[in-house]
Every structure is written in structure tokens, then in C-alpha cells.
Amino acid sequence: MDTILTINNLTKKFGYLTAVKDLSFTINKGNVYGILGPNGSGKSTTLGIVLNVVNKTSGDFHWFDGNTTTHDALKKVGAIIERPNFYPYMSAYQNLKLVCKIKGVDYSKIDEKLEIVGLLERKDSKFQTYSLGMKQRLAIASALLNDPEILILDEPTNGLDPQGIHQIRSLIKQIASQGTTILLASHLLDEVEKVCSHVVVLRKGEKLYSGRVDEMISSHGYLELKAENTDNLIQFLEAKKMFGKIKVEDELITAFLDEPMDAKDVNKLMFENGIVLTHLVKRKESLEEQFLQLTDNN
């Protein structure tokens, strides 16, 4: 698989504060990556370093096969960081024309990309007249101008209304479906869960996890159960070793599975042992629960 970005032992210190600590990970072509972490966990700093706007303290990184300079590599990258930054007095078209000049891209791309983000009708309006959602979409159009190998988005839905968030997310999915590698930094867990296939979890500049989203915690999920006779059920669950931790909240019993097991098999087992369930749901931990579990353990 082609490597797009390799980061080795990257460290960034701002005075006494260590923003990024000994971070290493690799980004391969074709996947949608998420960088997940609470505010101040070093996401933006990491992206700033690889995008050449923040100086690293130690460690190194290289783009593609390592033979390209960062300056040349950035021409094959599309990125937006934090806020959409454009010249307020220029129109959308003029702003994108400027980006074309920087990246060495033909002007014919401008209309094409504005069409994708749905801003073609407003292309001659000044940037300062745009709403935040439109600004953010213009930023995505700008990042797409050079048909990048990788699209880097830092909190693209920050500050948007639900409609705007939905527009941006479907745009990201649409772009990902065309095979563009995406690196998405976010503190919103469900965003990463909905969009990404791989995730790097950061906390206080340190990497806690990196890998596939669905393998983040090797868990077999858990069951939510209710029965007529709650005490019997609890006794039964405690006796069997395939059930791990058991939690009781009012009538609802939550049992964590230590072995893989279907809801159907659970129902059958219960019935054979004379327990009639009134409620049975099998769930997997959401990324949020996994994330909290992961950050709690450390």
C-alpha cells in the first residue's frame, strides 16, 4: 500500500508545555483517517507541523516516499486548518484564482470545484458576505483545487448549524467515495465514527491508540436484559463464565460478554434454563464509550 505520510517520534514544545509528545503514525492511501482527541490534545499542532506552519522541536516526518520536499508535497495536498482563511475583499472566484496561482493549477478547475460544493451561483460575491457554512465549503473547494492525494480537514464542522454540519459531512463522504485519502481532526467522536475507517487517538500530545475504528477495543459487546424474575437472572449470569461484568440499574441488567455470542443463542440458553426474558438487546460500545474507556485506563 502506498504511504502518504509518515511521522516518527515527533515532539513539539511551546516553552514548558509539550503539545505533541513522541508521536508516530503512518497514513496510507485510500483510507479515511481521524485524529481524535479533546481540545488541546495536540491535533492542530501535529497538522501544523506536517503542513509547514509550525516548527517541530524534534523527530521527523516525510510526505509520500520521502524523496519529496515538504514544499513540493504540499502542492499535492489539500488542507484547511481551523477557520477558513481567505481575503475578505476578494470574491470566491478571485480567492480560488489566487490559490490556483500558488499551486500552479489551471483556472478551469475553479468552476468545477465550486460546483461540487454548491457555490457556483455565488462565485462573484465577496468572501466577507458569506455565511460560516459557505466559507467552510469554499475552503473545501479550495483544498480540492489541485485534485489532492490527501485532504486534511481540521474540525471542519466546528461552529456550524446542524444543516451545515450535515452538508459538510455528506461532502466528505462523497469525496472519500471517489478514493481521496482524508485526514480528519476532530474532538467530536460521532463525527469520526461516522466518517472514518482508521483513527489515531491523542491525549495531551500522546498517542493512545492508532488503528481501525472497529478494532479500537477488542470487545464482544454487551447485552441489555430484563426478566420477570430479576434475581434468578442475575444468579444465572453470575454462574456462567461467558458473562463478565454485570451491572444492575433498576430493572435493567447489563451484562458484558467475554466470548462472542449471538442474541439468538442468548435467548435460547435463557429459555432452556427456565428464564423468560422480557427485554433483550445486544449492543456494541459506541466510540464514545470506547474512547472514555481508553482515556480512563491511562
Partner 1 sequence: MLRLLNLELQKLLLNRTSKILIFISFILPFTVLILLSIKINFFGFFTLELGELGIFNFPIIWHITTFFASYFKFFFAIVVVSMIGNEYSNKTIKQNLIDGLSKKEFILSKFYTIVFFSLLATILIAVASFFIGLYYSSYTEVNIIFREVDFLLAYFVKLVGFFSLCLYFGMLMRRSAFALAFLFVLYILEWITFGLIAWKSDTDLAEKIQNFFPLKSMYKLIDQPFQRVMMTKFPDKADLAYDYAVHWYEIIIVLGWTALFIFLSYRLLKKRDL
Site for partner 1, rule CB under 8 A? 14, 48, 51-55, 71, 74-75, 77, 79-81, 83, 85-90, 94, 97-99, 101-104, 142
Q: Measured from the CB atom, is 142 or 157 closer to partner 1?
A: 142
CB of 101 to partner 1, least distance (A): 5
Neighbours of 96 (CB within 10 A): 25
The H or E element containing residue 49 is helix 43-50
Q: Measured from the CB atom, is 123 or 255 closer to partner 1?
A: 123
DSSP 121: G
Q: Measured from the CB atom, is 87 or 271 closer to partner 1?
A: 87
Q: Measured from the CB atom, is 70 or 267 closer to partner 1?
A: 70
What are 186's three cell numbers?
A: 476532530
CB of 159 to partner 1, least distance (A): 15
Q: Measured from the CB atom, is 31 or 91 closer to partner 1?
A: 91
CB of 3 to partner 1, least distance (A): 20
Q: Measured from the CB atom, is 74 or 189 closer to partner 1?
A: 74
CB of 98 to partner 1, least distance (A): 6
Cβ partners under 8 Å of residue 60, min gap 6: 8, 9, 10
CB of 112 to partner 1, least distance (A): 18
Given a contact cutoff of 8 angstroms between Cβ atoms, the answer to whether 254 and 247 are in contact is yes
CB of 226 to partner 1, least distance (A): 54
Cβ partners under 8 Å of residue 216, min gap 6: 199, 201, 209, 287, 290, 291, 294
Give the closest residue to 163 by CA, choosing from 139, 132, 120, 119: 132
Triad 182, 195, 161: Cα angle to 5°: 105
CA–CA separation, 277 and 257 (whole Å): 17
Residue 196 identity (one-letter amino acid) = C
Q: Measured from the CB atom, is 100 or 202 closer to partner 1?
A: 100
What are 81's three cell numbers?
A: 486548518
Among all chains, which residue has been given the C-alpha cell 460478554?
A: 257
CB of 54 to partner 1, least distance (A): 5
